[in-house]
Structure 1
């Protein structure tokens, strides 16, 4: 569970990154979860764009993806959301205490 300070720090880091995934009408598939899982291991923090033709809103999608990948929901703004998970092999982000 992230503290407010840690969540704020991750939000500041996420300003500079572009969405690397798009979630569309197919929704959250097994393949999508696998790709997000791999990206979280490599990058620790990712941004996802939820397209207008998706049947889910961004917060709902973020919570489901975070749950299925054992990640932490950081933020949802408009049609984008940010999730974080500490990498086991490739730790890059040092969270404040």
Structure 2
């Protein structure tokens, strides 16, 4: 079950994700079991990750984005071009989401 985050939290995570590189690539075989496992491992290690998806089918990328979030219980942060940005808190929470908009300004 995917995590729902508020728009201001999504904006905060987008800002953090700006400087990171993709850690997983979904190739021509699509979203295989091993790719999903690799995404899960990366989420556990980093919490906030980018995934690069090969192929030009935008609808297929949207479907993959939704499937990943449902299967792995993560939040869909951003889908821009062929990049998917995902966030899932780990046991050692490294990224603290702001509780309200005012917390982002300080």
Q: TM-score, normalised by structure 1?
A: 0.90
Match of 2:88 in 1: 85
Say whether 1:44 aligns with 2:47.
yes
Q: Deviations over 1:30-86 (max 9, x none)?
A: 111111111101100110111127796332211111111111101000111101000
Greater per-residue helix proportion = 2
Structure 1 gaps of 5+ residues are none
Match of 1:96 in 2: 98
Structure 2 gaps of 5+ residues are 100-106
How many residues are aligned here? 96
Task: Describe how 1:7-86 pairs up with structure 2 within 5 A.
Answer: 7-52=10-55, 57-86=60-89
Q: TM-score, normalised by structure 2?
A: 0.83
Runs of 4+ aligned structure 1 residues displaced above 3 Å come to: 53-57
Aligned-CA RMSD value: 1.7
Asked if structure 2 preserves the Cα contact closer than 8 Å seen for 1:48 and 1:81, the reply is yes
